[in-house]
A and B are shown apart, each in its own frame.
Chain A
Amino acid sequence: MDSGIVDLSRLQFALTALYHFLFVPLTLGLSFMLVIMESVYVMTGRPIWRTVTRFWGTIFGINFVLGVATGLTMEFQFGTNWSYFSTYAGDIFGAPLAIEGLMAFFLEATFVGLMFFGWNRLSKLGHLFATFMVAVGTNFSALWILIANGWMQNPVGSQFNPETMRMEVTDFAAVLLNPVPQAKFVHTVSAGYVIASVVVLAISALYLLQGRWTGMARRSMTVAAAFGLASSLSVVVLGDESGYALTDNQKMKLAAIEAAWHTQPAPAGITVFGLPDLETRTTRYAVEVPWVLGLIATRSLDKQVTGMSELVLLAQERIESGVRAYGAVQTLKADPANVAAREAFARDGRDLGYGLLLKRTMDDPRRATPWQIQQAAWDTVPDVPLMFWSFRAMAGLGFFFIGLFATAFLLCSLRRFDQRWFLRLAVLALPLPWIAAELGWVLSEFGRQPWAIEGVLPTGLAASTLSRGQLWTTLIGFTLIYGALAVIEIGLIVRTVRRGPYAGHDDLAPVPDIGAQPAPAFA
């Protein structure tokens, strides 16, 4: 395979996925915040809560539609750009995507129309039900997508079938109950809730600073503070490190994040700061806190966190076994009944993917020299400095959000909406949760390299056989369209925020703000 094609395909996937993931987490979180706000409206019957719901609903709509539009690209990109991945893994990977459409996306997309157009057609409770269905649908969507992604990280319940030259499912329950996506799901949707909470917090803080629509802003900020505090605790405490002990690649990801070049005696310390050096395979100027990593990663005091060097030795053995499996598959292609090859495949088949790692540098892995196998084994180490720094930035932001929302919660409980330093901080925090979320994606997906499917299919083999001209065309095309849409979207959101809650939907007479006198929460 032309490595340029693979790189361009990866670049396009990364750009389109990262871009899609700007909108999706806000949809995930804001949908549930709308449910909370509208529930308060239904319970209290106070029109201000209807105004609150409808204002954030407008922001939700502007954002939602770009999530939908860019999701189209994602659904088909496996076929257009990763066609070998699609034939190799479609038997398992396709099912969660299809079920996502059937069970989640239909729900979300059908009820979202009712949510926007049904204010005067449904009863209060009926409309709340529509909003709730949208929230359930979007969150179920995330679950199925992460089940698909989790299988790429930890491909359980499946095995290679030499007759069809692809992975086939052996146990669907294992794919569904895979622990990696479970950890990921809670972490990812919580991240979405944090993003939505920061958006509501920041815009409300802006209104309070400007002294505009303060009644709505205070109520919104109270919801954001409570929801954000719960979510930011959840996103950190239920981070997906718990899944990192499971497989060789997940262990490698963890070792790279920690720049753990060698296995340490348990419980391992965490390197808070340092400069990972790829040449010498050491971390310079490391500042270490004892015990913490072992506790986080293994949830125990006595289990080890395996280092990269040890994992590479393991990979080397698996590549050797993978070469034998590759040989067996080649024999079985020509002679499906060959007994010796069948036995060899039964023995070494699970390492076939490791044998395929050698395809990056040669056509026939059976000709690999021990030196080439050693090199290929070191290829299983992802980009250590990238992993190391992405994680620290993401985790640092995670702790910052806990502090931000704890402060917000405290101030809201004390009805102190006049702390201008905090309001300014809340406005400035607006872009931060997106940075954290995108870094999370980088950790998860760059950390999986060199694999498209861990231990099964190297990324270099997964791409479609396209030409560079085709890839540049779509890469430039998507960049232009997405860039233009981003500018338009931000423009519309700024306009909506500037015009405030009574602009587009002025069917209600403006509710006078309660002004300086403190309003009871949720009233």
Chain B
Amino acid sequence: MTKFLDETHQEDIQLIGRIVQQDEAALRRLVEKYKSRLMGLAFKTVYSKELAEEVVMDVFVRVWEKAALFNSEKGNLRGWLFQMTRNRAIDYLRKSGRRVDDTAVGWTDVHDNVIPATGDDPEKQAQQKDLALVVQTALSQLSEDQQKVIGLAYFKGLSNSQIANETGIPLGTVKTRIRRGMLKLKDFLSESDLARLT
């Protein structure tokens, strides 16, 4: 597993270096490698395939234009892509003016629907799928209330106050549920699971 992660990380570093030099082939490889995962993340937020495509396209355009801003010492490329995708998707969601209730997706609806991303060999796909299943299993350990507030905060970009308003849950309870839920996830996920993200 470590070898796989090292290879993935090293490839990402090489790709971003070539993209800084405006190497289209490198961007094509990056797109092939991450488009499906970023689509999944964007879809989880905007709940529209068309909008998710717009989000992911914006992200790759930004990578093309701003690759030099990526600092591998501050984090891995995947985390950077996830962060940009999430932020952009939340922007789209806010601009769309749709109520969060209309776009909410429960955690449970994805548990049996993990599709490995394309662009990697079967071994890597299996490892990615395995990691996704580990995370989803961890999520299933949370109470529904904890899942809900964490999902609204992370995927829908709502502040704690907005979550309180949307759900009618007292603000203090929202904060507590988020913290306890995150601590439970941290306890459930092993060091080796977390290490897969580094």
Is B truly associated with A?
no
Q: Which residues of A are in contact with B by a Cβ distance under 8 Å?
A: none
